[in-house]
A and B are shown apart, each in its own frame.
Chain A
Amino acid sequence: MNELRWLLLALMLFLVALPALSAGTETDVPPLWWSGLALVTAAGLIPVALRYTPSGDDGED
């Protein structure tokens, strides 16, 4: 996967986390909001990890 696709994945993780966080906290279902927090943590770590990963693909379209 090139850098752009990894960032697209991070973006998706952020957006998918939103309903989990809202529904999980609103209906008091901890596994749901915990999964939301996990998704956001993963989304936040992806761009940082990319910075320290040698890029072999510039991702030009």
Chain B
Amino acid sequence: MTDSTLPINIGYWLLAFSPIVLLLVLLAVLRWKAPEAGPVGMLLAAVVALVFFRTPFETLAVGVGKGIWDAVFILLVIWPALLLYRVGTAAGAFDALRRGLSRYSRNHVFLVLGFGWVFASFMQGIAGFGAPIAIVAPLLLAVGVRPVYAVAIPLIGHAWANMFGTLAVGWIATLQVVDLDDEISTALITAVLLAPVTLMAGVTIAWMAGKGRGVRVAWPLILIISALHAGLQFVIMYWEPLLSAFLASTVALAALYPLSRWSRYREPARDVRERPAMRDDAGEGDEAESEPTMGLGWALLPYAVLTLVAVVTLAVPPVVDLLDQIEFGPPFPGADTGFDVVNEGERPYSPIAPFTHPGFPLAVAVLTTWLVYRARGFYAARRRQEGSQPIWSSLATDATPASVAILSFLVLAAVMEHSGQTDVLAQGLEQVSPPLVYAFLANVVGLIGAFMTSSNTASNVLFAQLQQGVAAGTGLSGNAVVAAQSAGGAIGNAVAPANIVLGTGTAGIVGQEGAVLRKTLPWTVAAAVVIGLLTLLFV
């Protein structure tokens, strides 16, 4: 990467930035649907690569192929997640969930924070790769949240857990691309930079649920959960970074039960009158309706199965070692450009291990749920109440546009990487920034990487080495700059179009990605500023 002859100047920087700008303008300003905007960005990235970045067609072919394979990895999460939603809907599980939970808490602020922040973080701790968004959005719909907010809330709520979530795959990947002089310091600085992110998520989600009064109701909950998320992640980091987010988010989830017994969170928040995130017809669970088809226990079955299978297949080392032996991926040769940007050949490229892939627990949960619900007659009961509930045609309606969007986003990212556009973006920031300004902006580089790839891990693989090199050249602390890169990558997931599409797919609002982006972008910018300021303390 560092041996390339890429021209680093404002013209090339703007050219490299143009596909991202186009994507943002189409989605957030012109309000195009993601399946329409994504391919336009993808085609622009390819044209820029061919015309300006001296990218041979064969190198473009390698980049496009790798992008499609990267997208397949995500699609294997979204398809079973969407199916789980449809299987649950057709059996009346979400209706039962909403009314069952109202026995424990009828406080909408508590429920929105519980699902959108605490449960989403827990799911990120084990599954990741967008699964928290795809799983939590329908749950929020079930408790009366408006669809756009149902997607935006888990995007914000799970962001802090991206770096050390999914059993710290982002951290493992970072250690593979950079040699840190002090690994534990870097991990601890990253944990410190992520601490305000979870606090900001709690406050923002409470604000969405009930403006200022919502925050006033929620503040003890926000402080307790933030302390558990950030504090435990920091402490566990000394012992085992790989489990830090998982254990912290698990304890936070467990803390919801005693909190739900507190009258403050058990009873409706009646004095919270402004409720931007809630539907107008969202009641407090005391409306007269026909009996749900199942009890709360049956409605929670898929999540129990999901959690159990995920923990066994993703967190128990001997099981993981055994299951990881089966893996496959397409081979790709090395490819370079006229600017000497070299991409090594990989055979296989980024192999998928199907039994430790995060889609596997989802698939097991779908199959188990379908069999059990069918055996207990929940589908028949729901049909009698609501008429026919098609599963497969609904799945196609949800999954197809979302899949096209994700494919085009990931191809865009791979083309930018293989042509050197990604390098120009990062090196351009490096060249114009004095050291302290660079330290402030280091997290923005990680953010851009995550925006492009929807992955903290991919962002760090792309940029961590470069960031460390800049730190060494400018006298900044490499540990702190890599930590800022990681924290930026975490919050970048809240605005990544591929992640947004995961949510709009399961919330049934494909096409409203721009509306979701307008909700998550201000939070992400604010979080980037806070991380940037905090980074200055460590460089």
A: which residues have CB within 8 A of B?
A: 4, 7-8, 10-11, 14-15, 17-19, 21-22, 24-26, 28, 30, 33-34, 36-37, 40-41, 43-48, 50-51, 61
* Nearest CB of chain A from residue B251's CB, rounded to whole Å: 40
Residues of B within 8 A of A48 (CB): 36, 39-40
Residue from B42, B331, B401, B408 in contact with A22 in the complex, judged by beta carbons closer than 8 Å: B331
In the complex, which of the residues A24, A30, A43, A45 has the most CB atoms of chain B within 10 Å of its own CB atom?
A43
User: Which chain B residue lies CB-closest to A19?
Assistant: B330
6 contacts between A and B (CB under 8 A): A4-B400, A21-B64, A45-B43, A47-B35, A47-B38, A48-B40
The answer on a CB contact under 8 Å between B407 and A50 is no
* Nearest CB of chain B from residue A10's CB, rounded to whole Å: 5
Residue from A10, A18, A30, A41 in contact with B72 in the complex, judged by beta carbons closer than 8 Å: A18
Closest 10 CB pairs of A and B: A21-B65, A44-B39, A22-B330, A61-B393, A33-B61, A14-B407, A18-B68, A7-B400, A47-B35, A26-B331
Does B342 have its Cβ within 8 Å of any Cβ on chain A? no
Residues of B within 8 A of A22 (CB): 65, 69, 330-332, 349
Contact with A along B224-257 (1 / 0, CB 8 A): 0000000000000000000000000000000000
In the complex, which of the residues A14, A33, A48 has the most CB atoms of chain B within 10 Å of its own CB atom?
A14
User: Which chain B residue lies CB-closest to A40?
Assistant: B64
* Nearest CB of chain A from residue B146's CB, rounded to whole Å: 23
What number of A-B contacts does a CB cutoff of 8 Å give?
Answer: 102
Residues of B within 8 A of A61 (CB): 390, 393-394, 396-397
Residues of B within 8 A of A34 (CB): 57, 61
The answer on a CB contact under 8 Å between B68 and A15 is yes
* Known contacts A19-B330, A48-B39: A37-B396 contact under CB 8 Å: no
Does B272 have its Cβ within 8 Å of any Cβ on chain A? no
User: Which chain A residue lies CB-closest to B345?
Assistant: A26
Residue from B43, B62, B72, B390 in contact with A25 in the complex, judged by beta carbons closer than 8 Å: B62
Known contacts A15-B72, A61-B396; 8 further A-B pairs (Cβ under 8 A): A7-B401, A10-B35, A11-B400, A14-B411, A17-B64, A18-B330, A22-B331, A44-B43
Residues of A within 8 A of B32 (CB): 51
Contacts of B384-407 to chain A: CB distance below 8 A: 390, 393-394, 396-397, 400-401, 403-404, 407
User: Which chain A residue lies CB-closest to B407?
Assistant: A14
Residues of A within 8 A of B64 (CB): 17, 21, 36-37, 40
The answer on a CB contact under 8 Å between B57 and A37 is yes
The answer on a CB contact under 8 Å between B400 and A36 is no
* Known contacts A22-B331, A36-B61: A44-B42 contact under CB 8 Å: yes
* Known contacts A17-B68, A25-B65: A40-B57 contact under CB 8 Å: no
The answer on a CB contact under 8 Å between B404 and A14 is yes
Residues of A within 8 A of B330 (CB): 18-19, 22
